[in-house]
A and B are shown apart, each in its own frame.
Chain A
Amino acid sequence: MDLSFGPEYEGFRSEVVTFLASNADKAPKGNDLRGQQAKDWQKLLIEHGYTCRTIPKEFGGYGAEPDIIKTRIIAEEFSKARVNAGLGGQGISMLVPTLLEMGTQEQKEQFIRPTIMGDMIWCQGYSEPGAGSDLAALSTAAVLDGDEWVINGQKIWTSTAQIADWIFCLVRSEPDAPKHKGISFLLFDMKTPGIEVRPLVDMTGHANFNETFFTDVRVPKHQIVGERGQGWQVANAILGHERETLAPANTAQTRINALIELMKNETADGARLIDNPVYRDRLMKIQGKVMAMRFNELRVLSARLNAGQDPGLSRMITKLEGTELRHDLEGLAIDVMGEIGLAYEDNPHLRGGGSWQRDYMYFLGLIIGGGTSQIQKNIISERGLGMPREPKFEKAS
């Protein structure tokens, strides 16, 4: 058991801290993907290797060797200082790693630099109305006509589609192949004729997602990542990683500290809620769970650093446990506030900018999105515990 990262890493940590101390005022405050300030900040972060750290220099990245500890130190210090950690979005988090792994040299040169610089915003076209948990059943059709794919169908949950420049999209290109072998991974411009984006308002009252419709959308044949019919492997090259990062424990830690502050400030009949044994016990229960998840995350990190260490099921359970925990945590904050917990939008009694209600609902969305809790349980029981798969149903004739 050795929890220190060693002196050379502490040196790196102080570099990050120093950078933040003298540059944090340049960071954008909101989540505006398009603003010039966000792009300038992104450029500065890349120059220092605080984002896009391992993306090769020739494609606009910092070009460092992968170092999980440095990546973690950067995340920790930016989170501690509450400073924007650079541009996010599915282009940077999903497509760029996919291209680095499976893209051609031309694709890497064409797409990676503008994507990480914030000049090219992407959306992800995976889920469909008929293909949610059973994603491989997707039916958006791509038919080759000369040198172009002709695409027809519908995607759903396409976040940022309304502002995206391009889409990376899974389509059925081989209708006669088995379902996992008939999918291709295409890239195309969202200004192509035949694309319609309709905002999908969710329970938070905001359109965090869209429905995206394709009618005879024509896409040049070469805009494919991997081979025809290989799209499932291309998409899965990085899909598992997304799940692990949906509900990190250090964010849960930040939230429980905010909840403690809330309970010190809110009163009922003149008594602080933190002094109420019932609410306090609920708080302590959740704090214990957050603690367990923090240590679980240390184990995940350690198993990635030390080749011989068995991670057990520690990675497989993080999406399920992390998202459920956040939903419970945010829900407790609402209970603590009682009717005040219902305040939303322009209500003058709003606490924390409305974040408690928003995250309470948002994390219910995450319990469902990225592989539902029920799908996670299938994965844990089948791949983790070695339990038998559900028998396949014979198709009724």
Chain B
Amino acid sequence: MQFGLSEEQILLLDNVNRFLDDNSPLDRVRAYADGGDDADIWAGLTELGVPALLIPEAQGGIGLNPLDAAIVAESLGAHITPSPFLGTAVMAPTALVASGGKYDDLLAEIAAGTHRVGIAFSEAIKRRNDAQVEARDGRLFGKSLFAFDADADSYLVADQKQHLYLVAADDPGLTRTHLTTVDKTRRTVELTYDNAAAQSVSTDVRVFESVLDIGRVAIAADTMGAAQNMLDQAVEYAKQREQFNRPIGSFQAVKHMCAEMAAQLEPCRSMVWFAGHALAELPEEARVTACHTKAHLAEVAQFVAKTATEVHGGMGFTDLVGLHYWFKRCGANRQWLGAPEFVRQEAAVLQGLTD
């Protein structure tokens, strides 16, 4: 019995961490937030094999499993790295591999880092107001809100029936409108479909569910990385910053804030590991675990993001320190792919507790 990361997984985490330490420091993230691109970061991650991670070897990938993807997501969250990882390396390959060979050419492009796939799932998870996606005879109509990422080459779109379609970004029937959010580390768009050409990827709801589950676990892992980094920054700051002639970290009021963050966050790590493992190995537990992991990480991260900022005092509120990038990443992850209240409702339904 061994519950934890293998040596290979620890090595993978170290490799990605080292690359992102060098190539995704806060200044680089700021450059992206100010309108720059993430091309060099994605090229570097491609060299490390990141987009090929979940693609089976037979289809030109590395053939690793969801826990490995969660490990990479943790590192990206810790470094608040702008990247198309979630859609392109995690969710799209899961859908495309499930279609059984039909999309091997596209998978090869994804693995090579030359094609980015965005995700437009919001309307199939919890449709807001007048947004909706309707598919008729291989054409899409309606609109998706908050699709990510803004600069994708194609979009994996889920309609109300939770069927999956692929739409090319340059299709004449597709209009992309940039939607600014608080989280400047990920760019989102509104997609308007007016008779847009759509290739069917799956009409099997279980495929949609598996793509959603792995997306949620990856977001939870990203959240964990971001929250852990905020805690680390808060502890470090509290050790350095002096008031009343002593480090503020020696005051119990401050220490206890840090201890509470650590105590809530530590079990999250095991939860993310288990959730990643369950997706591949424990199908009966996988869906409920994915829901709970997504929702629980959202709650813990909300507490950590607020508390870590408070530990920094006024500096935490400034752009100078930049802690707000992590704060907003946690806040955005909370809403993507299902807000915690709705995801917990799904967990209850999956257990047959309610209709």
Chain A residues proximal to chain B, CB less than 8 Å:
1-6, 69, 260, 264, 274-275, 277, 280-281, 283-285, 287-289, 291-293, 295-296, 298-299, 301-303, 305-306, 309, 312-314, 317, 320-321, 374, 376-378, 380-382, 384-391
A1-B2, A387-B238 given; A288·B274 CB < 8 A: no
A-side contacts of B296, CB under 8 Å:
285, 288-289, 291-292
Q: Does B266 contact A (CB under 8 A)?
A: yes
State whether B3 touches A288 (Cβ < 8 A).
no
State whether A4 touches B347 (Cβ < 8 A).
no
A305-B1, A309-B2, A320-B263 given; A288·B270 CB < 8 A: no
Q: Which of A264, A284, A298, A321 touches B263 (beta carbons < 8 Å)?
A: A321
B-side contacts of A321, CB under 8 Å:
263-264, 267
A287-B292, A292-B296 given; A385·B258 CB < 8 A: yes
B-side contacts of A277, CB under 8 Å:
345
A-side contacts of B266, CB under 8 Å:
296, 312-314, 317
Expressed in whole angstroms, the Cα–Cα distance for A374 and B253 within the complex equals: 10
Please give the distance in Å from B253's CB to the nearest CB on chain A: 11
B-side contacts of A320, CB under 8 Å:
259, 263
State whether A298 touches B299 (Cβ < 8 A).
no
Expressed in whole angstroms, the Cα–Cα distance for A127 and B263 within the complex equals: 26
List 15 A-B residue pairs with CB atoms under 8 Å apart, sorted by A's residue number: A1-B67, A3-B281, A280-B354, A284-B347, A289-B267, A289-B296, A296-B266, A298-B3, A298-B274, A314-B270, A376-B263, A378-B255, A378-B259, A385-B258, A391-B250
State whether A296 touches B267 (Cβ < 8 A).
yes
Please give the distance in Å from A266's CB to the nearest CB on chain B: 14
Q: Give the secondary structure class of A's interface.
A: helix
- Chain B positions 1 through 32: 1 when the CB is less than 8 Å from some CB of chain A, otherwise 0: 11111100000000000000000000000000
Expressed in whole angstroms, the Cα–Cα distance for A317 and B296 within the complex equals: 17
Q: Which of B238, B249, B268 touches A292 (beta carbons < 8 Å)?
A: B268
Expressed in whole angstroms, the Cα–Cα distance for A395 and B353 within the complex equals: 60
Most-contacted residue by chain A among B250, B252, B255 (CB, 10 A): B255
Q: Which of A280, A295, A391 touches B271 (beta carbons < 8 Å)?
A: A295
Expressed in whole angstroms, the Cα–Cα distance for A349 and B261 within the complex equals: 40
State whether B345 touches A5 (Cβ < 8 A).
no
Chain B residues proximal to chain A, CB less than 8 Å:
1-6, 67, 235, 238-239, 246-247, 249-252, 255-256, 258-260, 262-264, 266-271, 273-274, 277, 281, 289, 292-293, 295-296, 299, 341, 344-345, 347-348, 353-355
A-side contacts of B6, CB under 8 Å:
1
State whether A378 touches B252 (Cβ < 8 A).
yes
State whether A317 touches B263 (Cβ < 8 A).
yes
Please give the distance in Å from A259's CB to the nearest CB on chain B: 11
| List of 7 A-B pairs having minimum Cβ-Cβ separation, nearest first | A295-B270, A377-B259, A284-B344, A302-B3, A296-B267, A292-B267, A381-B255
State whether B270 touches A305 (Cβ < 8 A).
no
Please give the distance in Å from B275's CB to the nearest CB on chain A: 9
State whether B246 touches A391 (Cβ < 8 A).
yes
A295-B273, A378-B252, A390-B250 given; A4·B1 CB < 8 A: yes
State whether A381 touches B258 (Cβ < 8 A).
yes
Expressed in whole angstroms, the Cα–Cα distance for A277 and B355 within the complex equals: 11
State whether A287 touches B347 (Cβ < 8 A).
yes
Expressed in whole angstroms, the Cα–Cα distance for A317 and B270 within the complex equals: 13
State whether B256 touches A387 (Cβ < 8 A).
no
A292-B296, A312-B266, A387-B238 given; A377·B2 CB < 8 A: no
A-side contacts of B262, CB under 8 Å:
313, 317, 380-381, 384-385
Expressed in whole angstroms, the Cα–Cα distance for A270 and B88 within the complex equals: 49
Please give the distance in Å from A72's CB to the nearest CB on chain B: 9
Expressed in whole angstroms, the Cα–Cα distance for A83 and B18 within the complex equals: 52
Please give the distance in Å from B240's CB to the nearest CB on chain A: 11
State whether A281 touches B249 (Cβ < 8 A).
no
State whether A291 touches B289 (Cβ < 8 A).
yes
Expressed in whole angstroms, the Cα–Cα distance for A6 and B1 within the complex equals: 8
Expressed in whole angstroms, the Cα–Cα distance for A321 and B273 within the complex equals: 19
A-side contacts of B4, CB under 8 Å:
1, 299, 302-303, 306, 309
> Residue of B at shortest CB range from A5?
B1
Please give the distance in Å from B3's CB to the nearest CB on chain A: 4
